[in-house]
Structure formats: C-alpha cells, structure tokens
Amino acid sequence: GQQVMQIPQYQHVQEGEDFTTYCNSSTTLSNIQWYKQRPGGHPVFLIQLVKSGEVKKQKRLTFQFGEAKKNSSLHITATQTTDVGTYFCAGPQGAQKLVFGQGTRLTINP
C-alpha cells in the first residue's frame, strides 16, 4: 500500500541552527499536510500544500511541495526552543483517510 516516509527520524540542533525534515511518498499525492506535536501533546495541523512546486511560509517555517507531488520538506530557520516537538507529514490515501509519516522528532539545545 501507499507509504509516506520521513527522514530523519530524530534531529538535535543548537538553538539558532536551521532544521529540515523530508517527506517522501510512494505515490503521487493530491495534497500534503504537515502537523506538529509538542511533547505530551496532540498533533496539530500546520499547513496544507496542494500545487506542484508550491512553497508556503509561516514566519520561520518554510514548506515545499515537490514538482512531482511525491515529496515535501519543512525547513525551520533559526530554531527556537518553542520549535521542539515531532513534525509529521501526511498524505491522502484515496478520498477518505490520511497516511502519516513516522515523524521527525526535533530537540533543541538552548
């Protein structure tokens, strides 16, 4: 079945360093969604990308959807301690559900 793979699984950075997580799908996606889960919290929807090659920004976060609509990335510039958490990408499987990646857990050394 459809798989959504994320790398890396873990990333530890110094505060102020940049961070990037990558998401790859085995099939073409109609959209890609990104979620953030703080430690002890629940996944929270961040953004949805729909168009091929689309780039969206939210303050220090930049989201990109690949030209082939099979991969995506999330880049955080100058990380802050508030960025700590696990970042998930998710892609639709058919019209009725999402397939989530394994997530990238980001820890930050202040």
Partner 1 sequence: DAGVIQSPRHEVTEMGQEVTLRCKPISGHDYLFWYRQTMMRGLELLIYFNNNVPIDDSGMPEDRFSAKMPNASFSTLKIQPSEPRDSAVYFCASSFLGNQPQHFGDGTRLSIL
Count CB neighbours of 91 within 10 A: 25
Burial of 77 from C-beta contacts in 10 A (0-12 / 13-18 / 19+): middle
Kindly tell me which residue out of 69, 85, 103, 106 binds partner 1, with binding defined by CB under 8 A.
103
Residue range at the interface with partner 1 (CB under 8 A); choices 18-26, 36-44, 54-62, 70-78: 36-44
Residue range at the interface with partner 1 (CB under 8 A); choices 20-28, 39-47, 64-72, 76-84: 39-47
Asked whether the beta carbons of 86 and 101 are under 8 A apart, the reply is no
Contact residues toward partner 1 (CB under 8 A) are 30-31, 33, 41-45, 48, 88, 90, 92-98, 100, 102-103
